[in-house]
């Protein structure tokens, strides 16, 4: 481990202000060195505003990237043509061993495509998956994947997502025996669409997984399972729905607590509890979504990420690296492929090829 994290300084809607403040906070709080990648003419004035005196000062280094892939840029052409983009240069630094991982709050599709092209996939992994932590009513959040990397999936992709999610939950979240659920429209095995019906028996056959069966939408926030697997289209809808619902609930609570002097007085007494609830529901507390299945650590944040979200995304990389989650994922995939070769399986999950 290098103790360094590469940060795309040009990614978020508030770039580079949010990235710089987040990087400084991460360097101060986490003891990491952050390599900012982007356009110096935009980054350096912001750094000097914070008292930065040059490369290495306050745990911040700067690497120039003259091009930026914007939120509205076409993914396929931009990733290949903009070779001096912050995404291309940032991921290349990681492949060269100069940092432990890469963080971007920019164009999600471009970040994923760049990671696959520059960093590459772990052996045996077909497709990467974005994994997001969903707050629950229990003390620990639930890991949901995929939340947007693959809008269409096959059954063996969901099996691989389960293996990767299980490894991440063990390594980073400290879950001893993660309970794995398959998102569907009913608890019974026969419920669901063709994808879930095909994935169910494949997951059940894996003795290495603690597969508990189908889970429904209402179970996502219950904390009954540790990992939920689904296709990227469904997962992304669920993620955005949970974010919108959280914002609406907090807004309604705030409005109701300020309608009269009595409710305001009650709100003052309950302020510590409400503060804790808001913190647990705040997306910025979770940093970003790790892209599981690529050879190096990549964390992708919200486009609207603030400095706290950036700081916590860098923390995600640090925890991922320290707990060697990539190695656990690779080992889990390899063991599963070996078991199916021994069993003479003709169906996925099989040894897969990188697309």
Gap between the Cα atoms of 163 and 183, Å rounded: 15
Residue 286: both structure tokens together: 């979770």
Q: Helix axis angle, 17-30 relative to 307-322, nearest 10°? A: 40
- For residue 131, what are the CA distances in angstroms to 79, 93, 226, 277, 316? 22, 23, 12, 22, 12
How much is the pTM?
Answer: 0.88
Q: If you search the block for the tokens 């697997």, which residue do you land on?
A: 229
Fold assignment, 1-120+294-323: Isopropylmalate Dehydrogenase (3.40.718)
DSSP class of 294: B
Tens digit of each residue's pLDDT (9 = 90 or more) over 95-117: 999 999 999 999 999 999 999 99
Higher local confidence (pLDDT), 235 or 1: 235
Residue 141: CB atoms within 10 A of its CB come to 18
DSSP class of 67: B
Lowest mean pLDDT among 135-144, 154-163, 177-186, 268-277: 268-277
Gap between the Cα atoms of 67 and 12, Å rounded: 15
The full set of domain ranges for the chain reads 1-120+294-323, 130-286+324-355
Is the sign of the CA dihedral 171, 173, 177, 178 positive or negative? negative
Tens digit of each residue's pLDDT (9 = 90 or more) over 44-75: 998 988 888 777 778 999 999 999 999 889 89
- Identify the band that residue 90 occupies on the pLDDT scale cut at 50, 70 and 90: very high
pLDDT at 260: 85
- For residue 132, what are the CA distances in angstroms to 38, 97, 149, 349? 26, 26, 12, 23
pLDDT at 351: 43
Beta strands in the chain (DSSP E): 4-8, 33-38, 60-64, 101-104, 129-134, 142-145, 179-183, 210-215, 227-229, 289-292, 297-300
Architecture (CATH level 2) of domain 130-286+324-355: 3-Layer(aba) Sandwich (3.40)
Query: 139: which residues sit within 8 A by CB, 6+ positions away?
Result: 223
| Span 130-156, average pLDDT | 92
* pLDDT averaged over every residue in the chain: 89
Q: 130-286+324-355: same fold as 1-120+294-323?
A: yes
- For residue 231, what are the CA distances in angstroms to 15, 133, 197, 341? 30, 16, 13, 26
């Amino acid at each position: 481990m290098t103790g360094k994290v590469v940060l795309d300084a040009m990614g978020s809607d508030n770039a580079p202000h949010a990235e710089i403040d987040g990087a400084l906070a991460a360097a101060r709080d986490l003891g990491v060195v952050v390599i900012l990648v982007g356009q110096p003419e935009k980054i350096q004035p912001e750094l000097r505003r914070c008292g930065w005196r040059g490369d290495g000062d306050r745990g911040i280094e700067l690497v120039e990237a003259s091009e930026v892939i914007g939120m509205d840029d076409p993914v396929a052409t931009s990733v290949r043509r903009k070779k001096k983009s912050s995404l291309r240069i940032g991921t290349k630094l990681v492949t060269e061993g100069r940092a432990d991982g890469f963080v971007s709050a920019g164009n999600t599709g471009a970040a994923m495509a760049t990671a696959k092209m520059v960093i590459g996939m772990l052996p045996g992994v077909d497709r990467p998956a974005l994994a997001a932590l969903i707050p629950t009513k229990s003390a620990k959040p639930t890991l949901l994947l995929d939340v947007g990397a693959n809008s269409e999936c096959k059954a063996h992709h969901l099996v691989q997502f389960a293996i990767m999610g299980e490894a991440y939950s063990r390594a980073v979240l400290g879950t001893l025996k993660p309970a794995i659920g398959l998102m569907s429209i009913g608890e019974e095995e026969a419920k669901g669409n063709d994808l879930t019906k095909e994935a169910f028996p494949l997951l059940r056959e894996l003795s290495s997984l603690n597969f508990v069966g189908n889970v429904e939408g209402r179970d996502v926030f219950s904390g009954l399972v540790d990992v939920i697997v689904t296709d990227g289209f469904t997962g992304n809808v669920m993620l955005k729905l949970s974010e919108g619902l959280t914002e609406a609930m907090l807004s309604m609570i705030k409005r109701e607590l300020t309608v009269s002097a009595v409710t305001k007085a009650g709100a003052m007494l309950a302020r510590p509890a409400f503060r804790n609830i808001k913190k647990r529901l705040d997306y910025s507390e979770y940093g970003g979504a790790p892209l599981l299945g690529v050879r190096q650590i990549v964390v992708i944040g919200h486009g609207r990420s603030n400095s706290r979200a950036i700081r916590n995304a860098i923390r995600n990389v640090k925890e991922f690296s320290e707990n060697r989650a990539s190695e656990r994922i690779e080992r889990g995939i390899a063991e599963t492929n070996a078991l199916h070769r021994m069993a003479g399986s003709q169906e996925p999950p099989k040894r897969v090829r990188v697309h």
